[in-house]
A = this chain, B = another copy of it.
Amino acid sequence: MFFLRALPDLDMISRYSKRPETARTIRDALVMLRDASVLLRCIDRYFAGHGLSQLQFLILVVIDREPERTSLRQSEIGERLDVSKPVLHRTTKTLIKAGLLRSDPDKEDGRAEQLTLTPQAAHKLQEVIPGYFRLIADFMQSPADTAAGRVVR
């Protein structure tokens, strides 16, 4: 996360990078980092209000959206989400305990487990996705209001 509230001005950036064109690019990147950080916090807060972390949500999503499959292994989820193995392990266990995932042994591989969405998980996704997209759309339209938690509508 990028925490700086007031970004450096172009002059300051230019002091360290010769070409003015580059300074402008860097400025744009910093704006992006700041915007994304604020939005990520809004998203975290939104999911927390539904008893989920962002990663938990994404794990459910990648299983749900898999065509022709109803379950994935931990390792397959890892191919779709850019997180470390131990974090994936811990988070899938949390989801199992919460009743949102079911774990079955993989018949082809004794080391692996197949992770399937429970009906509660499918329901949870239905409950959560519309508001997720609405939050993002609201933020893009009016970042300050959305970040302040005000009703934008």
Count of this chain's copies in the oligomeric assembly: 2
On whether the beta carbons of A2 and B80 are closer than 8 Å, the reply is: no
- By a CB distance below 8 angstroms, the chain B residues around A26 are 133, 136-137, 140
Give the nearest-CB partner of A79 in chain B: B5
User: Which of B13, B39, B61 is in CB contact (< 8 Å) with A4?
Assistant: B61
* Those of A79-131 within 8 Å (CB) of chain B: 79-83, 129-130
Interface size in chain A (residues, C-beta < 8 A) = 44
User: Which residue of chain B is the closest to A8 with respect to CB atoms?
Assistant: B65
CB distance from A134 to the nearest CB of B (A): 7
Measured CB to CB, the nearest residue on chain B to A62 is B4
Return A40 CB to nearest CB of chain B, in Å.
7
Minimum Cβ distance to chain B for residue A31 (Å): 10
Decide yes or no: A83 and B3 within 8 Å by CB, A16-B129, A36-B37 being known contacts: yes
CA distance A58 to B13 in the complex (A): 14
**Chain B residues with CB under 8 A of A65:** 8, 12
* Pairwise interchain contact B17-A134, C-beta atoms closer than 8 A: yes
Question: Is A75 part of the contact surface with B, judged by Cβ < 8 Å?
Answer: no
A58 touches B4 (CB 8 A): yes
CB-based contact B61/A140 at 8 Å: no
A25 at the interface (CB under 8 A from B): yes
B-side contacts of A17, CB under 8 Å = 130, 133-134, 137
12 pairs, CB–CB < 8 Å, chain A vs chain B: A2-B40, A4-B61, A4-B62, A6-B80, A8-B65, A16-B130, A26-B133, A28-B140, A32-B35, A32-B36, A33-B39, A36-B37
